[in-house]
Amino acid sequence: MKKFLKILVFLIILGAAVVYLERSGYVYHNDIIAKVLHYNVEGLDVSHHQIRINWKRVDRKYKFIIMKATEGKDFLDSDFLYNWNNARLNGFTVGAYHFFSMLSSGEAQADYYISMVPDSDKVLPPVIDLEIPTKYPKNVVIKELKDMIEKLERHYKKRVIIYVTYHTYNAYIKGEFPDNRLWIRDIKYIPKLAEDDRWIIWQVSNRGRVTGIPGFTDKNVLRSGTVEELIENSRIKIEMQEKN
Protein backbone atom coordinates (compact mmCIF):
# COMPACT_ATOMS: atom_id res chain seq x y z
CA MET A 1 0.00 0.00 0.00
CA LYS A 2 2.82 2.41 0.89
CA LYS A 3 4.50 1.71 -2.45
CA PHE A 4 1.25 2.46 -4.28
CA LEU A 5 0.84 5.74 -2.39
CA LYS A 6 4.41 6.77 -3.22
CA ILE A 7 3.78 6.08 -6.91
CA LEU A 8 0.50 8.01 -6.77
CA VAL A 9 2.13 11.00 -5.08
CA PHE A 10 4.96 10.92 -7.63
CA LEU A 11 2.47 10.87 -10.53
CA ILE A 12 0.49 13.76 -9.04
CA ILE A 13 3.64 15.85 -8.62
CA LEU A 14 4.79 14.95 -12.12
CA GLY A 15 1.41 15.86 -13.58
CA ALA A 16 1.36 19.17 -11.72
CA ALA A 17 4.84 19.97 -13.03
CA VAL A 18 3.82 19.19 -16.62
CA VAL A 19 0.71 21.37 -16.30
CA TYR A 20 2.80 24.22 -14.86
CA LEU A 21 5.41 24.01 -17.62
CA GLU A 22 2.72 23.87 -20.31
CA ARG A 23 0.70 26.81 -18.99
CA SER A 24 3.80 28.89 -18.32
CA GLY A 25 5.03 28.25 -21.86
CA TYR A 26 8.40 26.78 -20.91
CA VAL A 27 7.40 23.45 -22.46
CA TYR A 28 4.53 23.24 -24.93
CA HIS A 29 3.19 20.03 -26.43
CA ASN A 30 2.73 21.41 -29.96
CA ASP A 31 6.34 22.58 -30.05
CA ILE A 32 7.39 19.01 -29.37
CA ILE A 33 4.99 17.61 -31.97
CA ALA A 34 6.26 20.04 -34.61
CA LYS A 35 9.85 18.99 -33.95
CA VAL A 36 8.95 15.29 -34.11
CA LEU A 37 7.32 15.95 -37.50
CA HIS A 38 10.50 17.75 -38.62
CA TYR A 39 8.91 21.15 -39.08
CA ASN A 40 12.24 22.77 -38.32
CA VAL A 41 11.86 26.30 -39.75
CA GLU A 42 10.51 28.33 -36.84
CA GLY A 43 9.07 31.83 -36.76
CA LEU A 44 7.18 34.27 -34.57
CA ASP A 45 4.24 36.59 -34.99
CA VAL A 46 4.05 39.76 -32.92
CA SER A 47 2.09 42.97 -32.46
CA HIS A 48 1.78 45.87 -30.02
CA HIS A 49 0.32 43.36 -27.54
CA GLN A 50 3.89 42.32 -26.78
CA ILE A 51 5.73 44.82 -24.59
CA ARG A 52 8.44 46.63 -26.59
CA ILE A 53 10.68 43.90 -28.04
CA ASN A 54 14.46 43.93 -27.69
CA TRP A 55 15.31 42.59 -31.14
CA LYS A 56 19.01 42.35 -30.35
CA ARG A 57 18.23 39.61 -27.82
CA VAL A 58 15.79 37.55 -29.92
CA ASP A 59 17.30 34.22 -30.96
CA ARG A 60 18.24 34.07 -34.64
CA LYS A 61 16.99 30.48 -34.78
CA TYR A 62 13.62 32.07 -35.61
CA LYS A 63 13.83 32.41 -39.38
CA PHE A 64 10.83 34.66 -39.96
CA ILE A 65 8.88 37.29 -38.07
CA ILE A 66 5.36 38.23 -39.13
CA MET A 67 4.11 41.39 -37.45
CA LYS A 68 0.79 43.16 -37.32
CA ALA A 69 0.77 46.22 -39.56
CA THR A 70 -2.79 47.39 -40.11
CA GLU A 71 -6.43 46.78 -39.30
CA GLY A 72 -9.47 47.99 -41.17
CA LYS A 73 -9.01 51.12 -43.27
CA ASP A 74 -7.13 53.35 -40.83
CA PHE A 75 -5.57 51.54 -37.85
CA LEU A 76 -1.79 51.19 -37.72
CA ASP A 77 -0.30 48.91 -35.08
CA SER A 78 1.58 51.23 -32.74
CA ASP A 79 4.72 49.05 -32.78
CA PHE A 80 4.71 48.15 -36.48
CA LEU A 81 7.39 50.53 -37.72
CA TYR A 82 9.58 49.82 -34.69
CA ASN A 83 9.24 46.06 -35.15
CA TRP A 84 9.66 46.17 -38.94
CA ASN A 85 12.81 48.28 -38.88
CA ASN A 86 14.50 46.71 -35.87
CA ALA A 87 13.75 43.11 -36.80
CA ARG A 88 15.25 43.71 -40.27
CA LEU A 89 18.28 45.53 -38.84
CA ASN A 90 18.95 42.49 -36.66
CA GLY A 91 18.88 40.08 -39.58
CA PHE A 92 15.36 38.63 -39.48
CA THR A 93 13.21 38.00 -42.54
CA VAL A 94 9.96 39.85 -41.95
CA GLY A 95 6.40 39.98 -43.16
CA ALA A 96 3.33 42.03 -42.26
CA TYR A 97 -0.25 41.01 -41.64
CA HIS A 98 -3.49 42.94 -41.91
CA PHE A 99 -6.36 42.25 -39.53
CA PHE A 100 -9.35 42.08 -41.87
CA SER A 101 -12.54 43.94 -40.96
CA MET A 102 -16.04 43.93 -42.36
CA LEU A 103 -16.49 47.56 -41.29
CA SER A 104 -14.75 48.89 -44.38
CA SER A 105 -14.31 47.78 -47.97
CA GLY A 106 -11.60 45.40 -49.11
CA GLU A 107 -10.22 48.02 -51.49
CA ALA A 108 -9.94 50.63 -48.73
CA GLN A 109 -8.17 48.14 -46.50
CA ALA A 110 -5.75 47.22 -49.28
CA ASP A 111 -5.02 50.90 -49.93
CA TYR A 112 -4.19 51.48 -46.28
CA TYR A 113 -1.95 48.41 -46.02
CA ILE A 114 -0.10 49.48 -49.19
CA SER A 115 0.39 52.98 -47.77
CA MET A 116 2.01 51.60 -44.62
CA VAL A 117 3.89 48.41 -45.57
CA PRO A 118 7.07 48.83 -47.67
CA ASP A 119 7.47 46.76 -50.83
CA SER A 120 10.65 44.66 -50.93
CA ASP A 121 11.74 41.53 -52.77
CA LYS A 122 13.18 40.11 -49.55
CA VAL A 123 10.09 40.17 -47.34
CA LEU A 124 7.28 37.64 -47.00
CA PRO A 125 4.08 37.94 -49.04
CA PRO A 126 1.28 40.06 -47.57
CA VAL A 127 -0.90 38.25 -45.05
CA ILE A 128 -4.62 38.82 -44.44
CA ASP A 129 -5.67 37.74 -40.96
CA LEU A 130 -9.26 36.48 -41.22
CA GLU A 131 -10.70 36.19 -37.72
CA ILE A 132 -14.05 37.89 -38.23
CA PRO A 133 -17.25 36.57 -36.61
CA THR A 134 -18.91 34.05 -38.89
CA LYS A 135 -22.24 35.93 -38.82
CA TYR A 136 -21.47 37.73 -42.09
CA PRO A 137 -22.90 36.32 -45.36
CA LYS A 138 -20.28 34.35 -47.24
CA ASN A 139 -20.82 36.07 -50.59
CA VAL A 140 -20.29 39.50 -49.01
CA VAL A 141 -17.08 38.45 -47.24
CA ILE A 142 -15.73 36.76 -50.37
CA LYS A 143 -16.36 39.88 -52.44
CA GLU A 144 -14.43 42.15 -50.07
CA LEU A 145 -11.63 39.64 -49.63
CA LYS A 146 -11.35 39.24 -53.40
CA ASP A 147 -11.07 42.99 -53.88
CA MET A 148 -8.38 43.25 -51.22
CA ILE A 149 -6.38 40.25 -52.41
CA GLU A 150 -6.37 41.41 -56.05
CA LYS A 151 -5.17 44.89 -55.13
CA LEU A 152 -2.42 43.62 -52.81
CA GLU A 153 -1.19 41.11 -55.38
CA ARG A 154 -1.06 43.71 -58.14
CA HIS A 155 1.04 45.96 -55.93
CA TYR A 156 3.41 43.52 -54.22
CA LYS A 157 3.60 40.93 -57.03
CA LYS A 158 3.35 38.13 -54.47
CA ARG A 159 0.52 35.75 -53.74
CA VAL A 160 -1.31 36.72 -50.53
CA ILE A 161 -1.31 34.26 -47.62
CA ILE A 162 -4.57 33.98 -45.65
CA TYR A 163 -4.46 33.38 -41.89
CA VAL A 164 -7.45 31.32 -40.74
CA THR A 165 -8.95 29.65 -37.74
CA TYR A 166 -11.03 26.52 -38.31
CA HIS A 167 -14.15 28.67 -37.94
CA THR A 168 -13.20 31.19 -40.63
CA TYR A 169 -11.78 28.50 -42.90
CA ASN A 170 -14.98 26.45 -42.83
CA ALA A 171 -17.27 29.48 -43.08
CA TYR A 172 -15.49 31.39 -45.85
CA ILE A 173 -12.24 30.01 -47.27
CA LYS A 174 -12.88 26.32 -47.89
CA GLY A 175 -13.07 25.92 -51.66
CA GLU A 176 -12.34 29.61 -52.27
CA PHE A 177 -9.13 31.36 -53.40
CA PRO A 178 -7.40 28.05 -54.25
CA ASP A 179 -4.19 29.79 -55.32
CA ASN A 180 -3.70 31.38 -51.91
CA ARG A 181 -1.86 29.32 -49.32
CA LEU A 182 -3.03 29.27 -45.71
CA TRP A 183 -1.57 30.04 -42.32
CA ILE A 184 -3.58 27.90 -39.93
CA ARG A 185 -3.99 28.37 -36.20
CA ASP A 186 -4.08 25.13 -34.22
CA ILE A 187 -2.50 25.43 -30.79
CA LYS A 188 -3.78 22.04 -29.64
CA TYR A 189 -3.28 19.52 -32.43
CA ILE A 190 -1.71 18.89 -35.83
CA PRO A 191 -3.57 20.93 -38.51
CA LYS A 192 -6.37 19.07 -40.22
CA LEU A 193 -8.14 20.79 -43.11
CA ALA A 194 -10.35 19.42 -45.87
CA GLU A 195 -7.83 20.92 -48.34
CA ASP A 196 -4.86 19.59 -46.42
CA ASP A 197 -2.24 20.64 -48.97
CA ARG A 198 -3.15 24.34 -48.70
CA TRP A 199 -1.58 25.25 -45.40
CA ILE A 200 2.03 26.44 -45.46
CA ILE A 201 2.42 28.01 -41.99
CA TRP A 202 1.21 26.45 -38.74
CA GLN A 203 0.71 28.57 -35.62
CA VAL A 204 1.64 25.97 -33.05
CA SER A 205 1.50 27.95 -29.81
CA ASN A 206 0.28 31.17 -28.25
CA ARG A 207 2.41 30.68 -25.14
CA GLY A 208 5.94 30.80 -26.47
CA ARG A 209 8.76 32.07 -24.29
CA VAL A 210 11.39 33.99 -26.27
CA THR A 211 14.36 35.90 -24.92
CA GLY A 212 13.96 39.59 -25.67
CA ILE A 213 10.16 39.44 -25.72
CA PRO A 214 8.41 39.89 -22.35
CA GLY A 215 5.45 37.59 -21.71
CA PHE A 216 3.98 35.14 -24.21
CA THR A 217 4.60 35.10 -27.96
CA ASP A 218 2.91 33.21 -30.80
CA LYS A 219 5.20 30.59 -32.36
CA ASN A 220 4.94 29.16 -35.86
CA VAL A 221 6.59 26.69 -38.20
CA LEU A 222 6.82 26.35 -41.97
CA ARG A 223 5.38 23.18 -43.43
CA SER A 224 8.22 22.69 -45.90
CA GLY A 225 11.14 24.39 -47.57
CA THR A 226 12.89 27.56 -46.49
CA VAL A 227 11.69 31.09 -45.96
CA GLU A 228 13.56 32.15 -49.09
CA GLU A 229 11.73 29.47 -51.11
CA LEU A 230 8.38 30.63 -49.75
CA ILE A 231 9.11 34.18 -50.91
CA GLU A 232 10.39 33.08 -54.31
CA ASN A 233 7.51 30.69 -54.98
CA SER A 234 4.92 33.33 -54.17
CA ARG A 235 6.52 35.68 -56.68
CA ILE A 236 6.91 33.11 -59.48
CA LYS A 237 3.22 32.26 -59.44
CA ILE A 238 2.24 35.88 -60.00
CA GLU A 239 4.73 36.29 -62.86
CA MET A 240 3.54 33.11 -64.55
CA GLN A 241 -0.07 34.27 -64.33
CA GLU A 242 0.80 37.62 -65.87
CA LYS A 243 2.62 35.96 -68.79
CA ASN A 244 -0.37 33.79 -69.53
| DSSP labels, 43-75 | EEEE-TTS----TTTS-TTEEEEEEEEEETTTE
Domain 33-243, CATH number (from 1.10.10.10, 3.40.50.2300, 3.50.50.60, 3.20.20.80):
3.20.20.80
Q: Where are the domains of the chain?
A: 33-243
Secondary structure of residue 113 in the 3-state scheme: helix
Per the CB < 8 A criterion, the answer to whether 157 and 238 are in contact is yes
Q: pLDDT, tens digit, for every residue of 183-234?
A: 999 999 999 999 999 999 999 999 899 999 999 999 999 999 999 999 999 9
Q: pLDDT, tens digit, for every residue of 85-127?
A: 999 999 999 999 999 999 999 999 999 999 999 999 999 999 9
pLDDT bracket for residue 3 (50, 70, 90) = low
Regarding beta strands 75-76 and 62-71, do their DSSP bridges make them parallel or antiparallel, or are they unpaired?
antiparallel
pTM, full prediction: 0.88
What gap in Å lies between CA 34 and CA 202, rounded to an integer? Answer: 9
